[in-house]
Structure 1
Amino acid sequence: MTARDDELDYRRRYIPDSPWLVVLAISLGAVLIPMIAGRQTADFASALLPPSASNLLGTDHSGYDMLTRTAEGLRISLLIAVLCAVIACALGVVIGVASAAAGGWFDAVVMRVVDTVNALPHLVLGIVIAALWRGEPLAVVASISLTHWPSVARIVRAEVLATADSGWVRTSRLAGASRWFVARRHLAPSVGGQILVALAMLIPHAIWHESTLSFLGVGLSPDRASLGTLLGQARGDVMLGAWWTLAVPATALVVTALAFTLGLSMLRRRLTPPGGSVW
């Protein structure tokens, strides 16, 4: 066994899967905790109670249990983030494959559009889009998806161009295969690994963007629990000494984003050939 084989075997055996286990635990908690707790009602007599045996993470200014409220917000944020990542990846893959497969002036025009969108501040552009339909979840999804597809398109285009120079693609073209056939049967399947990495990369970005938009008041409406709306509502509660209303959703946001980021790093190490080899 060579040194490269030893390195690859070490990665497969000893790189822990703990970040994805944390992601799984967080996802299950976001789904199960609200189901177990049931529907909450406002109880102002129990507002801003500190963490205790009856309320493990305290209550907010409406008397809602912070553990249940944070789980509800995390569920909404994760749902929006996954939806945004899927839409952005789908747009990026379609545009990247089409650009590389068509080539010529079409490829040049698409790349200039990608450069233009990348040059714009994503957060500012997202605020403008979300502000047009303030409080609507679809506006938040559109604002994040339409600002994050260019990076996926560029990565996919580069991978497709590398695959297009392979022997089997040249053979298919010499045999008379159309551009659509080549793109569908050869080019699109070659970007499967890149799509997986892009999904894992975009989800934490989407969580931060959704939280930022809702925190600034142009994302989800305050009556919809998300990590961003909970953080926005906690600004006034903190001034009253209720630090837990800010600490709980902020911790959930950081832990979730960090788990996805570490999971992405682990995924890249697993997919990257050791020592520059190709396998």
Structure 2
Amino acid sequence: MYDWNALWHEHAGFRAGLDLAHADLNALEASLSASLFKPARDDKDVAVYETGDRFILLGHQDGLQMLEVAKHALFDLTLRVVVDDEGQGMAPPYLEALIDNLATGESGEWRGSLTLNPDGIALVNGQVLSPELLPDMLFPELAFTQTPHFRDQLAERWREELSAELPMVEAALGGGAAAEADAGLSPARMQQIYDRYAEMVRREQATLSRIFSDAELKLVAAALHGVGFESAASCRGLWLVVEAQLIDAEPDREFGVDALALLDKMKGLSYAQEIALIEGLAG
């Protein structure tokens, strides 16, 4: 469902010491008034407990520590540039934003028309399109959009996702690669696009190195070997490729990897992280 160990490390500053005598991380339901959601596999793993509105992570780090994570904060944002008419009542090209929260079971969607202003600057619903500028995105079907810090969390995810989608936005507004060539993008502009893409990949690969073990990365590399990723859309859903290899060849035995844990991590990846995996591992 989630990479709990990654959450544990990413939110280290929010952990608190816990004064409980029981040494077994998996036997604290009564003490926490919560149900055990995911047991710790070993001393280095975290145990996850669940209440109605939050998850409680427990781990040993200079003593017993606890991290509480509100369920409404565990949402994913996926951006997609749509260039064909998909019957949504909006003329392409447009930007589609999908929010999924596996913890609360909620999902929502938003769409914004993509255009160029007279100066050639990309706009979404008339606003400047930039990773640093969050547009007026409304998700009335979601119950948690009015919670504290939602807009900050959404802005962070928007920044990550849009950085990966900018080349597709450029292509959509220029009519595709051929039209871009006809339009005569300057070498400086092409270099700017490349530099942004390379920086996005570098940052995401640094994050992935903390999420996946070396053995897991070797397994994913083996699964992706020889797979063609000809279009931007084909890069989404890498876990399906890995799952097929796990079923057919059982590489988890060869690499000593927990297959279910690996698939859980793969399913939680953003599009930008999947791109970074492909750039780093696919050959």
Q: Same fold (TM over 0.5)?
A: no
Give the TM-score, by structure 2 length: 0.29
Higher relative contact order (CA 8 A, sep 6+): 1
Instruction: Give 1 or 2 for the bigger CA radius of gyration.
Output: 1
Greater fraction helix: 1
Greater fraction strand: 2
Give the TM-score, by structure 1 length: 0.30
